[in-house]
Amino acid sequence: MTRVDLNKDLYEVVFDLSEGNPGAITVLAMCLKEAKQIDTQHFDAGLGVLLALDASEIYGKDIWVLFKDHCHENLSKFIAVLRGCQLGLISPAMLKSGAFSVNDTCISVVSQLGKTNFRLDPNP
């Protein structure tokens, strides 16, 4: 069952996706604020990120784990791997489990989309 309902207030949607997890709330807030500048080709980057997470059934602590552990707190990489899932480069199951190469996925996304503002600095 999807959690993004366009009849809900945006705060309710963020809370539903985050399951109240503080780290997930922080990531979602950053996405709403910065995603449009990062993914310039997305129809509504902030909402698009929320929809992509919902479609992949990534909620609560899994949002935080994807951002912190797999994307090394790089918001551009986080948004790029979600786009990779939308583009069919990785499956939702791979996205949720982290069983994919973040850097390879990001590079593939950038090569498919062309001009974007993804900042894909190497992992530390």
More confident of the two residues 8 and 81 = 81
Confidence of residue 124 (pLDDT cuts 50, 70, 90): very low
Domain ranges, residue 36: 10-113
Question: Residue 100: how many CA atoms within 13 Å on its side-chain side?
Answer: 27
User: Structural domain tally of the chain?
Assistant: 1
Q: Is residue 5 part of a domain?
A: no
State the first-to-last Cα distance of the chain, in angstroms, to the nearest integer: 37
Instruction: Select from 55, 121, 98 the least CA-distant residue to 90.
Output: 98
Within-domain flag for 118 = no
**Is 80 a domain residue?**
yes
pLDDT in tens, 60-98: 999 999 999 999 999 999 999 999 999 999 999 999 999
pTM of the entire structure?
0.89
* Residue at 124 is within a domain: no
Is 121 a member of any domain? no
| 68 belongs to a structural domain | yes
CA–CA distance, 93 with 77 (Å, rounded to integer) = 18
- Inside any domain, residue 47: yes
Sign of the dihedral defined by the CA atoms of residues 13, 19, 24, 25, in that order = positive
Residue percentage of the chain with pLDDT more than 70: 90
Q: Is the pLDDT of residue 29 over 60?
A: yes
In a domain, 2, yes or no: no
